[in-house]
Amino acid sequence: MKKKMDELTFPWRSGNTITFLVDGEEFFPAMLDAIDSAEKFILMEMYLFESGQVANQFIEAFVKAAQRGVTVQLLIDAFGGLKLLPADRSKMTRAGIELIFHNPLCFLKLKQNLFRTHRKYLIVDDKKAFIGGVGITDAFAGINAWRETVVEVSGRVVLDWHTLFNKSITYWSETIKVPEVSEPHALTGDVSGRVVYTTTNSEHQEIKKALLIRIGHSQRDIWLATAYFIPTRKTRKALRKAAMKGRDVRLLLPGPITDHPAVRYASRRYYARLLRFGVQIFEYQGRFTHTKMVVVDDWFTIGSSNMDRWNFRWNLEANQEVEDANTTLRARSILLNDFRNSHQITYEEWRNRSSIQRIKEWFWGKVDLWLARRLG
**Model confidence pLDDT, tens digit, residues 197-236:** 988 765 678 898 999 999 999 999 999 999 999 998 999 9
Q: Is 1 a domain residue?
A: no
Reported as a single tens digit per residue, the pLDDT across 130-172 is 999 999 999 999 889 999 999 999 999 999 999 999 998 988 8
| Segments of the chain assigned E as strands | 13-22, 41-46, 71-77, 98-102, 116-117, 120-124, 128-132, 149-154, 191-198, 221-225, 248-254, 280-284, 293-296, 299-303, 315-323, 342-345
Nearest residue to 27 via CA among 126, 153, 125: 153
* Residue 196 pLDDT class (50, 70, 90 cuts): very high
114 and 253 share a domain? no
225 and 249 share a domain? yes
CA R_g for the chain: 20
pTM of the full structure: 0.94
* Residue 4 pLDDT class (50, 70, 90 cuts): very low
Interval 159-188 mean pLDDT: 83
Least confident of 109-118, 164-173, 355-364: 109-118
161 and 184 share a domain? yes
Q: Which domain holds residue 49?
A: 8-189
Residue 265 CA to residue 109 CA, distance in Å, equals 30
Nearest residue to 97 via CA among 132, 140, 61, 53: 61
Last residue of a domain, one of 189, 210, 240: 189
CATH number at residue 341: 3.30.870.10
Residue 370 CA to residue 376 CA, distance in Å, equals 10
200 and 150 share a domain? no
Count of structural domains within the chain: 2
112 and 215 share a domain? no
109 and 225 share a domain? no
58 and 134 share a domain? yes
